[in-house]
Amino acid sequence: MVTMSEVARAAGVSVMTVSNVLNGRSNVGADTRLRVLEVVEELGYEINLTARRLRSGRTGTIGLIVPQFDLHYYGELASRISEALAPEGMHLVVEQSGASRERELSALSLARLQQYDGVLLSAVGLDMADLERIHPDVPIVLLGEQAVPDRYHRVRMGNVVGSRLATEHLIRCGAHRIAVLGGKLSAPHPEMATCRAQGWSQALEQAGLPHDPGLVIPLTTYSIAEARAAVATAIDGGLEVDGMFAVTDEVAIGALAGLHDAGLRVPDDVQLAGFDNLGISEHLVPGLTTIDPGHPVMVAEALRLLRRQLEDREAGPEHVVGDVSLIVRGTTRARDTSSPAPG
């Protein structure tokens, strides 16, 4: 492997001059710079990022830690972030934590964090106490809904508002008994499932509709397969609904299949709404009515918070909540085109 000192020797200059050239520093003469660049080209030299990092601390790499690569939401998130970083010359590497507390902790170990200039963490397994204990010396931005200590920078969606919007829409479209798929009524700390169930229950309450625990279909992995089975089981078990709010689009896809399994038609027998507005949701048959969480804005905000910390390690923590909007498609009946949509 070619090193900087070999380049230096071949160009007849010092190692430091090569370093100066490659880092675009101004204290090099034009002819020297040219000669160094020629030699670099000729020998096929490339910088050793490991050595640079050890000495300078900078890596040009941002880490993104997600629970599962194969949940579509995270794939889309990773893709968006990667594209947003590319023009800045930084690049993104993504790790999967498997949604387990141990592996999230391991991903957050100093050893692993050191590898990055900054980290975006989409945590689901860690609790408040874990996060309280950790004092990373790398800029971190948390993405997601779980409760976190104040000192963390954080971006999250308007979960309660969005869920209420979705549920209100189901109600306006004529649904009276609306289940929440993947909802959770209580938990030690707020998380995605509780926030979204909260919006659901607010909407029902306001409309004077029932929101009894029997309407909550709990999930644990939020996979399509789990959601499908849970819906089919619930219907088989006698659950009667004419509307369903799925806490994510991923589980809404499972719900579509599960309702079909149970012989129910969407939207004729049961209307359905999701949350996340995945890329695929538009292309389901029928198209999925859902909540758009404003992905581009959330990504931009997350990166802004990260950059702010990179520039100023003492930057005070910010807490950003994204704007949500309702996207109406075929899984709900177009009953209320006359009345203006709120939000």
- Residues near DNA, by CB under 7 A: 1, 3-5, 12-17, 19-20, 22-23, 26-33, 47-48, 51-52, 54-56
Q: How far is the CB of 28 from DNA (least distance, A)?
A: 4
Is 1 a residue that touches its own copies (CB under 8 A)?
yes
Q: What residue 171 binds from its own copies, DNA, none (CB within 5 to 8 A, per partner kind)?
A: none
Tokens at 33, concatenated: 């710079």
| Three-state DSSP class for residue 328 | coil
Q: Which is nearer to its own copies, 23 or 109 (CB)?
A: 109
CB of 305 to DNA, least distance (A): 24
Q: DSSP characters for 125-162?
A: S--HHHHHH---SS-EEEESSS---TTSEEEE--HHHH
What does each C-alpha distance from 119 to 68, 169, 209, 255 come to in angstroms?
Answer: 16, 37, 43, 34
Which residue number, 17 or 248, has a Cβ lying nearer to DNA? 17
List beta partners, residue 51.
none
HEC-encoded secondary structure of 201-244: HHHHHHCCCCCCHHHEECCCCCCHHHHHHHHHHHHHCCCCCCEE
Residue 22: name its binding partner from its own copies, DNA, none (Cβ under 5 to 8 Å by kind).
DNA
Q: For residue 260, state whether it binds its own copies (rule: CB under 8 A).
A: yes
Contacts of 131 by beta carbon, 8 Å cutoff, 6+ apart: 123, 148, 149, 152
- Residues 6 or more apart whose CB falls under 8 angstroms from that of 29 comprise none
DSSP of 78-92: HHHHHHHHGGGT-EE
Return the residue of 14, 23, 48, 206 that touches its own copies, per CB under 8 A.
48
Distance in angstroms (rounded) separating the CA atoms of residues 340 and 343 = 10
Binders of its own copies among 212-231, rule CB under 8 A?
223-225, 228
Binding-site string for its own copies from residue 132 to residue 171, where x marks contact by CB under 8 A and - marks none: -----x----------------------------------
Indicate whether 279 belongs to the interface with its own copies (CB under 8 A): yes
Minimum CB–partner distance for residue 198 and its own copies (Å): 28
Q: Which is nearer to its own copies, 103 or 172 (by Cβ)? A: 103
- Rule CB under 8 A: which of 94-113 touch its own copies? 94-96, 98, 103, 109-112
Q: Which residue stretch of 11-19, 146-154, 209-217, 282-290 sits at the interface with its own copies (rule: CB under 8 A)? A: 282-290
Check whether the bond before 267 is cis (ω within 30° of 0): yes
Sequence letter at residue 107: A
Q: Does 76 bind its own copies (CB under 8 A)?
A: yes
Q: Tell me: does residue 79 bind its own copies (CB under 8 A).
A: yes
Parallel, antiparallel, or unpaired: how do β-strands 290-292 and 325-327 relate? antiparallel
Interface residue with its own copies, options 256, 288, 303, 305 (CB under 8 A): 256
The minimum distance between CB 201 and its own copies, in angstroms, equals: 28
> Which DSSP state fits 282?
G
Q: Which residues contact 167 (CB under 8 A, 6 or more apart)?
A: 178, 180, 199, 200, 202, 203, 204, 245, 273
Tell the smallest beta-carbon distance from residue 315 to DNA (Å): 21
The CB-of-121 to DNA minimum distance in angstroms stands at 23
Cβ neighbours of 195 (radius 10 Å) = 24
Among 6, 15, 32, 53, binds its own copies (CB under 8 A): 53
Residues that bind its own copies (CB under 8 A): 1, 44, 46-51, 53-54, 63, 68-72, 74-76, 78-79, 82-83, 86, 91-96, 98, 103, 109-112, 114-115, 137, 223-225, 228, 253-254, 256-257, 260, 279-280, 282-285
